[in-house]
Amino acid sequence: MGERTIFIDPITRIEGHLGLNAIVDTNTKVVKEAWAFSAMFRGFEVFLRGREPPDAIHLTSRICGVCAASHANASVRANDMALGAVPKPFGVVIRNLAWAATDHIYDHPTHLSILAGPDYSGVVVSKLTPSVYEEAKVTKAENSDVHGFSTIADLLDGLNPLQGKIYMLALKMQRIARHAGVLFYGTHPHPRTLIPGGIGATVTTENLIEYSYRLTKLTAWVKMVVAVWEDIANFFNSIGYEKQGMTYEKPNLLSVGTFEDPEAYSSLGESPDEIYANINEAGRKRFIKPGLILEGELVTDKLTDMNLGTIELVDRGFYKDWDTTFVDKDPVGNPVVWGNAELAKYHPWNKTTIPNPQAQDWQSKYTWTGTVRFVWKGKIYPIEVGPIARMWAHALHNGGKVKIELPRTNGVLELPSGTWDAITFEWNLPKVGASTTIERMRARAYNVALDVAAAWHNLLAGLELAKAGKTETSRPWKRPSFSVAFGFDEAPRGSVRHWMVVENYRIKNYQVHAPTTANLSPKGRWGKTGPYEESVIGTAITEEVPEDQWTGLDLVRAIRSFDPCIACSVHVFIGNRRIEKLITPVCSV
């Protein structure tokens, strides 16, 4: 049996400093083993210790330049709980509006058109899989009346970097999304106005009208995005891509939901313990519903359950273990990790970040990422997060499907007239019953439509509150001597979760799980594989080029379907040769 190693470090156009080591069986052209790894330590959880809790909002937003507001929003929710203050209803609405625009509506189409999109562009597909491109040229685009492209090949050409219409339109429209959010955040990507208990922005009816003008344009654009990716996804599934990049045959998915209900969140309480005790009911009333799905079944929608069962180990990470335990019970008396004494120290309230750099060893420690797992009824699961988890959980609250109604948007001249009409989209659970490369891309497109619906919902609520004169946004926060808290929200790429332990108004411990923390989780002590590695193992090489010219297109498609980022360079190792070169955007895979 022949083997070939494909080593890519870093993978471009994806979240963080990420690399991949994959072993391919050259007889079957299928990946048999894979290691995904993070090559950089940053230390936010270390230098947050000892600071005042509100500092975390603005410091953690610097974790990422793509979804900075995602971390700021998770952190501000942790602060709300830890410091016993929640916004007034208008403050919740304004947080939701800014959040919808600058992260979700801006980010999803950017990923689909600019970051992951080029993997499906005409220039890449025609070069590496020419037979696919020839098939695309004779395949009709079923949604041409909405997006304006006649064939699938026309759609793929539209994704050509710096040339294609879809790519260039995304560059233009994402700016409008940022403008909408900055009306309330002040700046982007790092919001200035988020504070515990509210938002430090003066908002008028005129601001809401300005937002509506931009949201109208974005709504039309998103209709086009969904139609484009519905056609691309159906085409790739029809030519044999249906199970490429599959994670778990019976999905293990986590979504904490997003877009707080103004009345429910503003009524949580006036102390940390009270807010914690009421958080589940408020979570259920989020516009996009939370859910933990294990082996394909929805097992809970309680945010406190999603807190108590989470652990992070460092068996394969470049860290030292620890003995400290800060918290053994949550504020209402539930034992962390369900009272499992062996695992309690690995709960994020207790997990201590102690970096321990060393040589990379594929059989031992090989990454700067911890091993995130979920403990439920005595079993331990790897967890996948992302738009497909979000859509899946929301669908299970609505009979297995998500129906999204987007309003009429007459006169958006930059976009095809087919996007001007009111359109109802419907996302259903994937036929394959699992998360795959293509279904993750499809789910992301539909997810942004759901985000637009959430923005309209909150805009109308904000106008009603403004009309009634209820435009106060914030409440003063407190300084409890000791408190524990979590802040859970959904970044575009998946669940972002922050945990904080506060003592004498100083941060005693702080832990962050970005979406990548769960998805990039390395192999664990129980033989479980994290989502990135799982998605690569079993993926087939479809490139129609000689073996020594394989680029790993199918592998990076699988991983990029989870996360976007900014490209710099690519380092590739094939067999016993290492190739280091700068890849231009047009040819990049």
Q: What is the CATH number of the domain that holds 41?
A: 1.10.645.10
pLDDT, tens digit (0-9, with 9 covering 90-100), for 229-257 = 999 999 999 999 999 999 999 999 999 99
Report whether pLDDT(7) > 80.
yes
Indicate whether 429 belongs to any domain.
Answer: yes
Written as six digits, the tokens of 214 are: 């931009």
Indicate whether 589 belongs to any domain.
Answer: no
pLDDT, tens digit (0-9, with 9 covering 90-100), for 77-126 = 999 999 999 999 999 999 999 999 988 999 888 899 999 999 999 999 99
Whole-angstrom Cα distance, residue 145 to residue 419? 9
Q: Report, as an integer, the average pLDDT of 562-568.
A: 49
Written as six digits, the tokens of 336 are: 């962390």
The residues, any chain, with a CB within 8 Å of residue 188's CB and separated by 6 or more, are 68, 69, 102, 178, 181, 182
Report whether pLDDT(571) > 90.
no
pLDDT at 291: 98
Whole-angstrom Cα distance, residue 491 to residue 60? 13
| Residues of the domain holding 457 | 3-502+510-581
- Residue 286's alpha-carbon distances to 302, 492, 496, 515, in angstroms, are 12, 16, 15, 19
Indicate whether 588 belongs to any domain.
Answer: no
Indicate whether 587 belongs to any domain.
Answer: no
Whole-angstrom Cα distance, residue 499 to residue 484? 8
- Cross-strand pairs, 486: 499
Q: What is the mean pLDDT of the chain?
A: 92
- Return phi, psi of residue 374, to 5°: -120, 135
Report whether pLDDT(434) > 80.
yes
Report whether pLDDT(574) > 50.
no
Considering its fold, how many domains does the chain have in total? 1
User: Parallel, antiparallel, or unpaired: how do β-strands 30-38 and 18-25 relate?
Assistant: antiparallel
Higher pLDDT, residue 120 or 578: 120
Indicate whether 217 belongs to any domain.
Answer: yes
Report whether pLDDT(349) > 60.
yes
Tell me the one-letter amino acid at 179: H
Written as six digits, the tokens of 236 are: 């790739």
pLDDT at 10: 78
By C-alpha distance, which of 227, 215, 224 is closest to 141?
A: 227
Report whether pLDDT(558) > 70.
yes
pLDDT at 3: 93
* 8 A C-beta contact, residue 412 and residue 220: yes
Above pLDDT 90, what percent of the chain? 85
Whole-angstrom Cα distance, residue 444 to residue 236? 16
Query: How are the residues of the chain apportioned to helix, strand and coil, as percentages rounded to the nearest 5?
Result: 40, 20, 40
* 8 A C-beta contact, residue 420 and residue 217: no
- Of the pLDDT bands very low, low, confident and very high (cuts 50, 70, 90), residue 59 is very high
pLDDT, tens digit (0-9, with 9 covering 90-100), for 435-452 = 999 999 999 999 999 999
- Specify the pTM: 0.94
- Return phi, psi of residue 415, to 5°: -120, 155
pLDDT at 13: 67
Whole-angstrom Cα distance, residue 569 to residue 206? 44
Report whether pLDDT(141) > 50.
yes
pLDDT at 38: 87
Report whether pLDDT(377) > 70.
yes
Token pair 């300084």 in the structure block, residue: 479
Indicate whether 586 belongs to any domain.
Answer: no
Indicate whether 255 belongs to any domain.
Answer: yes
Indicate whether 542 belongs to any domain.
Answer: yes
pLDDT at 579: 39
Dihedral sign computed on CA atoms, order 251, 230, 220, 175: positive
* 8 A C-beta contact, residue 221 and residue 419: yes
- Of the pLDDT bands very low, low, confident and very high (cuts 50, 70, 90), residue 17 is confident
